[in-house]
Structure 1
Amino acid sequence: MKKDQLLTRRRALIAGAAVLGAAGGAGTARVLTAEPAAKPVRSARAVSGPPARRALKPSAYRLQPMAGFGPPHSTHPRTAVRHEPILSVSGRGRRMVLTFDDGPDPRYTPAILRTLRKYDVRAMFFVCGEMAVDNKDLLSEMADDGHIVGNHTWTHPLLTKLSRSAIHSEIERTCEVIDDAYGEPPVWFRAPYGAWNRATFQIGAELGMEPLAWTVDTLDWETPGTSTIIDRVESGAAPGVIVLSHDAGGDRSQSVRALRRYLPRLLDSGYHVTVPRRRFV
């Protein structure tokens, strides 16, 4: 399907974040939760596994975003510069967000997309440009399914060790690939390894993106075992939680098998796995 035929649909699905207002005055960041959030640990990298549990009855409610839809934006909105990343999301009910970093990887990402589609659930994918440029079809599939695609730099470097110009290049090049394949520029950014500094916040804001971290780290990049990943997600589940997993960067078969098992359990427990949306100013 041609890019211009997808734009209208994608703009209705894309872009978004929790009930965010631009940070006021000096641009001080605020964590969108009443509870103190865990500090980001480190980033990691995610395939197919055994048959999924029984499918639950599709529910349109599960697809509802955490906040209202905003008007489509063809250019970067004005974004305040934060001093720390967003660590949690707000919203009524038992809502939580699943995020996958470092892809897309044709070995693992399609299996994750199939599982999310089976349960009518949307998620966030923070992609690396060097992976996305050769797998644009997967970004298009994410757009068609209503997932959010965020920027995770081009080569997954430790940004705090780079010059400002190098940081800008890493982020901007990835924005361009996402815009081309996804149909809209990204409005979310995640620093590799959870390593943020003033330059990353400033450059991300200049390019129209909010910084998003996580509250539950599955540490799946360590390949600790499918059961361990499941336990980390289920024990950490709570309203407003952002879960970090990976769909690339190594053998992610455990991550895929874990998703197939914990996702229906979360839904059966009353959690609404959804994506956040931004309010632009």
Structure 2
Amino acid sequence: MKYIREKDGKRIIVEKKKHTRVWMIQAVLKWSVCISVLCLTVLLCIFLDKKLDDGKLMDKIVSTVSNIEEGDTGEKVPETETQPMIEPHVLTVCLDPGHGGTDPGCDSDGRLEKDDTWALAQAVKKEMEAQGIKVVMTREDNDTKVFLKERVAIANSSDADYYISLHRNLGDGYGNETWKAANSSKIVDDLASNVHNAVVEAGVSRDRGIKAGTDTGEDSDYYVLNNTNMPACLLEIGFINNGEDNNLYDSKMEEYAKAITQAVKDTYSAYGPTGELSTEELESTEEGGDGLFTGMTLNNPKIDNVSALSSEILNWGQGSNVDEFNRPAGTLSYQEKYKDYSADFIIPTATSDKKIYLTLDEGYEYGCTPSILSTLKEKDVKAVFFVTKPYAEKDPDLVRQIIDDGHILGNHSVTHPSAGIPSLSLADQEQEVMGNHEFIKKNFNYDMFLFRFPAGKFSEQSLAVLNNCGYRSVFWSFAYLDYDVNNQPNEAESLQKMIDKLHPGAIYLLHAESWTNTNVLGQFIDKARELGYEFALYTDILQ
């Protein structure tokens, strides 16, 4: 067969050739393969449709084809980014069972406060956890003594919403009272009120009310209430020496636990997580006081030719001989002998002027200082704390607390040389004094002006060095073997010794690493006052 075909603008006659036999066979085979593949595909789809048991596979295939024809490319649309889930806040309470271990707290005929507070804490913890409240304990057993500083650290690192400290009372009274910080915020007021009222409703012998500050007045706070950074209150549930209070404490322990738990929940319902409260809501409603004492500079008359003075090392001790006013005879003679060197062995005063000057040496921290500071604040007594440079470097927070509480910060040398300051060259003696002085001035903006010789070892030369450095040397008229932390003296005997040695113008030296001193300090202050003694400020003698 012939036909006309146009190519490159010219018409040509083309004769169509017949397909060969081979070509036709190849064509048939190709079509057969295509049809076979199509049939197999259909059969596979029917098989899968039955396996999926939804009868919709073919519909999905048809629908997909239709969508593509209508312009749907089938590309996956990016999903909206999923935000991470925020864990809901869990109400958390730091529960502080007072005392523990070697610190028994109040003791009445063998009934110990540490045992009672531990038992109640366990009941409260069980009740709170049953109601979904997370509980952080300041101590995990009844055999370990936890220092106040450590209790505060545990609370402040726990992210707790509230801090509740459990205690018992001792004395002539009876009933229940609750303590809060002076000038507290509204949330603290409500927490204390809710907890106190709930316990009272559970049953107490007498409602002694909610109190602020300490039992000496509202110008001070208990250490744990003043230093925790969440709303806090302290419960004194009954007097441990009162039979009715003890019966109520034992029989109503479960009710007290439920009452405290519900009071916490009520406070939380009103305020929510404390972490979400504003600074104004958490802080006190009144400003703190100004005018902190930051030391002083003494203008001592200069002593010339120090090197010509005696370098003999003297070991101070008050001795046992006393005059008719119970004043150690050695202190009186040394006070007269070295009066021109700005040194105090006893405060010369009228024998009718019954004043005591309390001093504490801080060579290293053994966990007692927070308790001592708390007791002094509670009793409204100011003391002199003699610190070494390493102590100030290691425990700056305690040094700051000493200053902030209105105590005097004294210089106890840089290295506390065991052989004594006089064993050093005159230049090194001055460095022992001024090295610590400059460190405290730089880091605490405080001018120290009182010095205590390490181990009580001094010489005429060293007294002159101190005088020329602008310092007053403070010795003591009472001291005893209290500094061995591994061999602490009996508390009752030590307290009696402190009382028996009282005398006008006394300078008491106590070591602040002694748990005996820590535990009897409050009783000593009370007994001394009962005997007509006054704890005076050391700065009074310098006026």
Measured in 2, the distance between the counterparts of 1:104 and 1:139 equals 12
What residue number does 2:300 align with? Answer: 79
- Three-state SS of the structure 2 residue aligned to 1:100 is strand
Is 1:100–1:124's contact at 8 Å kept on the other side of the alignment? yes
- Please say which of residues 180-189 and 110-119 is displaced more in the overlay: 180-189
Measured in 1, the distance between the counterparts of 2:297 and 2:426 equals 20
Letter in 2 for 1:213: F
Deviation of residue 123 (structure 1)?
0.6
Is 1:149–1:186's contact at 8 Å kept on the other side of the alignment? yes
What residue number does 1:130 align with? Answer: 390
Deviation of residue 275 (structure 1)?
2.0
Is 1:104–1:132's contact at 8 Å kept on the other side of the alignment? no
RMSD: 2.8
Structure 2 CA distance for partners of 1:205 and 1:235, relative to 1, 3 Å: same
Measured in 2, the distance between the counterparts of 1:264 and 1:160 equals 38
- Three-state SS of the structure 2 residue aligned to 1:98 is strand
Q: How many residue pairs align between the two structures?
A: 219
Measured in 2, the distance between the counterparts of 1:112 and 1:161 equals 33
Which runs of 5 or more residues in structure 1 are unaligned?
1-47, 61-71
1:175 is matched with which residue: 437, 448, 453? 437
Equivalences for residues 233-272 of structure 1 within 5 A: 233-248=498-513, 252-272=514-534
What residue number does 1:88 align with? Answer: 346
What residue number does 2:469 align with? Answer: 207
Match status 1:161 vs 2:426: no
Structure with the larger strand share? 2
Measured in 2, the distance between the counterparts of 1:228 and 1:155 equals 32
Measured in 2, the distance between the counterparts of 1:233 and 1:190 equals 20
> Which entry has the higher C-alpha Rg, 1 or 2?
2
Is 1:99–1:245's contact at 8 Å kept on the other side of the alignment? yes
What residue number does 1:279 align with? Answer: 542
Letter in 2 for 1:274: A
Measured in 2, the distance between the counterparts of 1:265 and 1:276 equals 21
Superimposed CA distance per residue, residues 199-258 of structure 1 (whole angstroms, 9 cap, x where no aligned partner): 32222122211111100113212422222321221111122101111113xxx2112112
Structure 2 CA distance for partners of 1:172 and 1:202, relative to 1, 3 Å: same
The structure whose RCO (Cα within 8 Å, separation 6+) is larger is: 1
Measured in 2, the distance between the counterparts of 1:51 and 1:146 equals 27
Letter in 1 for 2:403: A
Equivalences for residues 53-68 of structure 1 within 5 A: 57-58=216-217
Structure with the larger helix share? 2
Deviation of residue 162 (structure 1)?
1.3
Deviation of residue 182 (structure 1)?
4.1
Structure 2 CA distance for partners of 1:199 and 1:267, relative to 1, 3 Å: same
Measured in 1, the distance between the counterparts of 2:496 and 2:218 equals 25
Measured in 1, the distance between the counterparts of 2:451 and 2:467 equals 9
Letter in 1 for 2:506: V
Superimposed CA distance per residue, residues 134-175 of structure 1 (whole angstroms, 9 cap, x where no aligned partner): 212212211111111111111211112111122111111111
Which runs of 5 or more residues in structure 2 are unaligned?
1-101, 107-169, 172-213, 220-292, 304-339
Identity, in percent, stands at: 24
